[in-house]
Amino acid sequence: MKHPEIEKRIKELLSKMTLEEKVGQLHQSGGSLVGAFDLTFEEIMTMVEDGRITEEEGRKMLSNAKHDWHEDDLRAGRIGSYLNVIGAEEMNRLQRIAVEETRLGIPLINGFDVIHGFRTIAPIPLAESCAWEPDLWQRTARMSAEEASAAGVHMTFSPMVDVSKDPRWGRIAESAGEDAMLNGLYGEAKVKGYQTNDLTRHDALAACVKHFAAYGAAEGGRDYNRVDMSPQRFEEEYLPSYERAVKAGARAVMPAFNDLSGVPCSVNKKLLTDILRKRWGFDGMTISDANAIAECINHGIAADRKDAARQALNAGMDVDMTSGCFLDHVKELVEAGEVSMDKLDEAVKNILRLKFELGLFVDPYRSNAEQEKAAILTPAHLALAREAAQKSMVLLKNDGLLPLKAGLRIGLAGKLAFERDEMCGTWAGNYQAGDCKSVQDGLDTEGISYQAVTEDHPLPDCDVFLCAIGERKAESGEAASRASLELTKEDIALLKRLKESGKPVVAVVFAGRPLCLGPAVECADAILMAWHPGAEAGPAILDILFGRVNPSAKLTASFPAATGQCPTLYYDHIHTGRPAGKFKYTSKYLDAPVEPLFPFGFGLSYTSYQYTDISAVQTEKGIHAEITVQNIGERDGNEIVQCFFRDPVAQRVRPVRKLAAFEKVALQPGESKRIAFDIPKAALGYYDQDMNFVIDDGLIEIHIGGNVRDTLQADVHFIQK
Ligand code: GLC
């Protein structure tokens, strides 16, 4: 929302700016480029491995090593923002050049990928989404903002709200899973947590919603691949999560690398102007993904860098992240009339607006070294990271083995049980080696003795095996698509070896995505999906395994029985004309089930819940549904009650289930609660063949339960007056 005083100051400043200075504001330089930052070769290669930079950027950095070339650009007013500058003092040093040594003293913005923590690493987003708890998501965002802002960061390239229905795609790790509503709520909570309601606060971070749009629908689950879908599906299933995050007040949006039905998002006017600006009224800043403008040449849309710059700016892109296309060509494009001065001014205004909103013209030096040191890895932050991990881990199987009794002799198996740095997952901010606590650390801290299982020795004599399996952080995240989601041969062999011992086995699965856990189901008596759980991995896992915490998390992404089920694995699939059945000629596989191994919304507890007395009625506003949930076990717990609906007869095929609402409810042993949901009429709507938004009269099925598969049903004859 525009503030008159800020708009006035933008206008005044713009009137003084030269064409070169305007173009300089559009250029974001890779702050981590070596030279002023003395990055070592190893640090650069780590950034490539972590996916924080591309290999191309890594090569460029190495070739420019030790040249302070970008500081001269900064003094000349050719840089408007940085990414990846780390440290309050480094940022203040660059800021001082911008504010005190350039002609107009326009301050810089520093952006960084604070995706699930800055130094205190929280569970990866896909894990945290399984808490189904917006308040938690907001609190961990606040924690991230307190740490990152103290370290000189002004904007985070987060929240990522790409609906991800294909676990072959490595970036599902950064999402809130396969459902549009959950991704939208996740994004909204993160925006509020990062920004607060006062961006001028020194501990506020501007949020950047990404990747706009539908990046998670990459064909084949292969990163950066094409996205092609009907406008109806785009509007119904992929656009809503970005809309919710933008309308939560996010001040920046990052278009995605992919094309959308043939037009790369970086040059997609329909997205960046018609939807984002005109339909949603967004007045923040758009910023390209890294090098994405230049990559429109690869897409086959731009003839050269100048053409890419022209198309991106005219489509509604404000900032060019590191490609240099804007810096190199916008001046001549404006002089040649291929980009209007008005269009350029619009982009510069959007950038200046965010700088004013952040208060950077008033106080450009928002932090210092001692504030930075005081803000990170505080006991409160570590406690929150542990809480988030406890609430994110999903109990997938428990044949009564868990919770473990104290005093059991433990055999600790699987390399990942001893690994600290694998616990942080992809996009782990400014994580420093050793920051995370492993399972081994957890046991050591509690003084619980264990014997390590090694390949070349007989199995130790113990009462129970803890077996860590899954994927390393580098196998997850950007540019980490997998053609197979099966467990590794080593993991399967280890599980079998442990099972053959006849001793009970707990499998603890570390991963940034759903995996095919069939062998774990066969060999383990209990399975805990720990994801990449962050700083307090080990302690949180033991909190659950020893019963100090009753697991409550539920899956936000379906787990495949076989990789070949992708990408049709997701819960909100359609029925088809020949739904899978015993008859040959039905929609199924010869060599795999059609059902997921673990369905959307699934998760076990150390207690049990009983659902009874479902009801549903039409109301003025939509549908009111109720159900009674009772804790029929011996322990208190938190149950995530999920309310789905189905429109069985419509003008286009509709999903067999669609999440309409949910509630996380605390129940003491024996306690019952009547849970009510109000589904707004609009939630029932969809687009017909002519893109008219329609809501049908007729039967609406309501399904409520503890996951998408195990529900009670009530029907409503929905008749609009
Ligand atoms: C990366 C990612 C994007 C990230 C940006 C800056 O390539 O696609 O999510 O924010 O570059 O690191």
- Tens-digit pLDDT profile for residues 450-496: 999 999 999 999 999 999 999 999 999 999 999 999 999 999 999 99
Q: How does strand 285-286 pair with strand 206-212? A: unpaired
User: 212 near 257, Cβ under 8 Å?
Assistant: no
Q: Which two tokens stand for residue 260?
A: 């959308």
Ramachandran category for residue 221: left, alpha or beta (phi over 0 → left; psi -120 to 50 → alpha): left
Which residues, 6 or more positions from 72, have their beta carbon under 8 angstroms from its beta carbon? none
pLDDT at 632: 98
Q: Ligand 1 test: best mutation among 53, 157, 257, most atoms within 8 Å of CB?
A: 157
Distance CA 62, CA 582 (A): 60
Instruction: State the closest ligand 1 atom to the C-alpha of 257, by its place in the atom list counted from 1.
Output: 8
Catalytic residue among 50, 179, 259, 289: 289
Residue 333 confidence (pLDDT) above 80: yes
User: Is the dihedral angle over the CA atoms 585, 587, 588, 594 positive or is it negative?
Assistant: negative
> For residue range 76-97, what is the model confidence (pLDDT) as tens digits?
999 999 988 889 999 999 999 9
* 560 upstream amide cis, omega within 30 of 0: no
Instruction: State the closest ligand 1 atom to the C-alpha of 53, by its place in the atom list counted from 1.
Output: 12
Mean pLDDT, rounded, for 689-705? 98
Q: How long, in residues, is the chain? A: 721
pLDDT at 42: 66
φ/ψ of residue 368, rounded to 5 = -150, 180
φ/ψ of residue 403, rounded to 5 = -70, 150
Q: How does strand 464-470 pair with strand 505-510? A: parallel
User: Is the dihedral angle over the CA atoms 254, 304, 259, 267 positive or is it negative?
Assistant: positive
Mean pLDDT, rounded, for 245-273? 98
How many CA within 13 A on the CB side of residue 75? 6
Instruction: State the closest ligand 1 atom to the C-alpha of 174, by its place in the atom list counted from 1.
Output: 9
pLDDT at 72: 86
φ/ψ of residue 208, rounded to 5 = -125, 110
Nearest CA to ligand 1 atom 7: 290
Q: Which residue has tokens 């037009």? A: 263
Q: Ligand 1 test: best mutation among 48, 162, 286, 478, most atoms within 8 Å of CB?
A: 478
Nearest residue to 128 (alpha-carbon basis) of 388, 469, 497, 435: 388
Q: How far is the CA of 52 from the centre of ligand 1 (A)?
A: 7
pLDDT at 473: 96
Distance CA 190, CA 136 (A): 10
Percent of the chain residues past pLDDT 90, beyond the cut: 92
DSSP-assigned letters across all residues of 400-448? S-PSPPTT--EEEESGGGG-SGGGG-SS-TT--TT-S--HHHHHHHTT-
Helix (H, G, I), strand (E, B) or coil at 700: strand
Buried b (16+ CB within 10 A) or exposed e, 242-265: bbbbbebbbbbbbbbbbbbeebbb
Ramachandran category for residue 85: left, alpha or beta (phi over 0 → left; psi -120 to 50 → alpha): beta
User: 644 near 600, Cβ under 8 Å?
Assistant: no
Q: Which two tokens stand for residue 684?
A: 């029932």
Nearest CA to ligand 1 atom 8: 289
Mean pLDDT, rounded, for 320-328? 94
Percent of the chain residues past pLDDT 70, beyond the cut: 96
User: Is the dihedral angle over the CA atoms 668, 669, 671, 676 positive or is it negative?
Assistant: positive
The residue with greater pLDDT, 35 or 245, is 245
Nearest residue to 138 (alpha-carbon basis) of 82, 91, 197: 197
Q: How far is the CA of 83 from the centre of ligand 1 (A)?
A: 10
Distance CA 26, CA 21 (A): 9
Q: List, chain by chain if needed, residues with CB within 6 Å of any ligand 1 atom.
A: 52, 83, 113, 157, 210, 289-290, 478
Q: How far is the CA of 427 from the centre of ligand 1 (A)?
A: 9
User: Is the dihedral angle over the CA atoms 579, 581, 586, 591 positive or is it negative?
Assistant: positive
Distance CA 159, CA 661 (A): 21
Distance CA 339, CA 360 (A): 29
Distance CA 354, CA 283 (A): 9
Mean of pLDDT over the chain: 95
pLDDT band, residue 721 (cuts 50/70/90)? confident
Q: How far is the CA of 242 from the centre of ligand 1 (A)?
A: 17
pLDDT at 32: 40
CA angle 260, 261, 262 (to 5 degrees): 90
> For residue range 356-410, what is the model confidence (pLDDT) as tens digits?
999 999 999 999 999 999 999 999 999 999 999 999 999 999 999 999 999 999 9
Q: Which two tokens stand for residue 334?
A: 């404006």
Mean pLDDT, rounded, for 270-284? 98
> For residue range 5-57, what is the model confidence (pLDDT) as tens digits?
999 999 999 999 999 999 999 999 974 443 334 566 667 777 788 877 777 77
Helix (H, G, I), strand (E, B) or coil at 563: helix
Q: How far is the CA of 246 from the centre of ligand 1 (A)?
A: 18
* 403 upstream amide cis, omega within 30 of 0: yes
pLDDT at 52: 77
Please report, for residues 16, 47, 63, 323, the alpha-carbon distance to residue 37 in angstroms, rounded to integers and kept in the order given: 32, 14, 14, 20
Instruction: State the closest ligand 1 atom to the C-alpha of 160, by its place in the atom list counted from 1.
Output: 9
Q: Ligand 1 test: best mutation among 212, 289, 321, 481, most atoms within 8 Å of CB?
A: 289
- Name the DSSP letter for residue 272: I
Instruction: State the closest ligand 1 atom to the C-alpha of 290, by its place in the atom list counted from 1.
Output: 11
The pTM for the full model equals 0.95
Distance CA 314, CA 340 (A): 9
Distance CA 315, CA 330 (A): 14
Distance CA 475, CA 237 (A): 27
198 labelled catalytic? no
pLDDT at 66: 41
Q: How far is the CA of 199 from the centre of ligand 1 (A)?
A: 23
